[in-house]
Amino acid sequence: MTDFAAHEELIARFDAYYESAGSVPLRALEQRAFGCDYGGNSYTDIEGARVLLDLLGLDESCTLLDVGTGAGWPGLFLAKESGCQAILTDVAAAGLQFARARAIDEGIRAEAVNAIGTDIPFRVSSFDAVTHSDVLC
């Protein structure tokens, strides 16, 4: 399989999962596994996200980039808790749609950008803080 085909297959697999991101069963699973239901698909739980919040030193004047956010975790939580502006990026559009809808519903300052982590479409020094959970391998 070519690299492009493999990449497209990976995106399709993520989309298939994230299309159900807001469903009752998935939110129940996340609550039990992570202690919250922001569409988490990594291994960061709520306590881990609080550690990120402390280390990143965010406040309402900051702009945060969350790479590989999936359906908005932990970027939505970090934005909600700190008041910062979050830019949520991922290769899978389905999760981003959920994240953006939730941000609007809850008044969270977050925008979603469909992008791969190796080619983020922003100028250098656009962000005060960057985070990613279990994206590199």
Distant-in-sequence contacts of 32-37, Cβ < 8 A, 24+ apart = 34/73, 36/73, 36/77
Stretch that binds another protein, among 46-54, 85-93, 97-105, 107-115 (CB under 8 A): 46-54
12 touching another protein, by CB under 8 A: no
Contact between 104 and another protein by CB under 8 A: the answer reads no
Least distance (Å) from another protein to the CB of residue 81?
Answer: 14
Cα separation, 83 vs 109, in Å, equals 7
- Give the 3-state secondary structure of 64-104: EEEECCCCCCCHHHHHHHHCCEEEEEECCHHHHHHHHHHHH
| 74 preceded by a cis bond (ω within 30 of 0) | yes
For the CB of residue 28, give the shortest distance to another protein in the complex, in Å.
6
Map residue 106 onto helix, strand or coil.
helix
Does residue 135 interact with another protein by CB under 8 A?
yes
Q: Which stretch binds another protein (CB under 8 A): 47-55, 84-92, 94-102, 106-114?
A: 47-55
Please give the residue ranges that form the binding site for another protein (CB under 8 A): 6, 10, 13, 16-17, 20, 23-26, 28-29, 32-34, 42-45, 47-48, 51-52, 55-56, 129-137
